[in-house]
Amino acid sequence: MKKSLLAVFLAAPILFTSCATIVSGSKKKVTISSTPSEASVYINDVEVGKTPLETKLKRKQSYNVLIKLDNYEDYSVKINKKFNAWYLGNIMLGGAVGFIIDPITGAMFKLDPTIIYVDFDKVKASKELNEPIPVAASSN
C-alpha cells in the first residue's frame, strides 16, 4: 500500500502537469506607451486607459489596439495570438491533462507584440513626407 501511494505521489506531477499553464500562465502583460504620453488606448473598442499603460490580456484571443491623441492621427495595431511552444512540454513531460488544460486556459498561445510604443511626432512627420511610419512593437 505504501509503495502504491508513493508511486502515485511521484507520478502525479508528471501525469497531471499543464506545462504551458505553469510556465506562461493564462494572461500576458502588455505595455503600451507613447510620446507625447496621455494618449487614449482602446482595446477591442473599449477604452482601457491612457499611456503609459500596462494591462494583462488573456492569451486565448487576438486584440485590436487603437491609440488616439488629440491633434494627431490615430494609430492602430493588432496583437495576435500565436502558438506557445511550452505547450509541447506536455509531450516531453507526459502531461496528458495539460493537453486539455492549456487550451482551456489559453496558455497554449502567446501574444505578439507585447510592447507597443508610438512616437506621434514621428508618425505625423512621416505622413507629411509620405514615408513609412516608425513605430516600435516587440514581444518578450
pLDDT digits (tens, 9 = 90+) for 43-67: 999 999 999 999 999 888 999 999 9
Find the domain containing 44 and state its range.
Answer: 18-138
| 100 within a domain of the structure (yes/no) | yes
| 114 within a domain of the structure (yes/no) | yes
| 6 within a domain of the structure (yes/no) | no
pLDDT digits (tens, 9 = 90+) for 4-43: 555 544 454 444 444 444 555 678 899 999 999 999 999 9
| 4 within a domain of the structure (yes/no) | no
User: What is the dihedral sign for C-alpha 49, 40, 51, 105?
Assistant: positive
Our count of domains for the chain comes to 1
Q: Are strands 27-35 and 115-119 parallel, antiparallel or unpaired?
A: parallel
| 3 within a domain of the structure (yes/no) | no
pLDDT digits (tens, 9 = 90+) for 81-132: 887 666 566 555 555 565 566 666 766 788 899 999 999 888 765 555 555 5
What lies within 8 Å, CB to CB, of 37 at 6+ separation is 50, 51, 52
| 11 within a domain of the structure (yes/no) | no
Got the DSSP string for 94-138?
A: T-TTHHHHHHHHTTTEEEE--EEEEEHHHHHHHHHHT----EEEE
| 2 within a domain of the structure (yes/no) | no
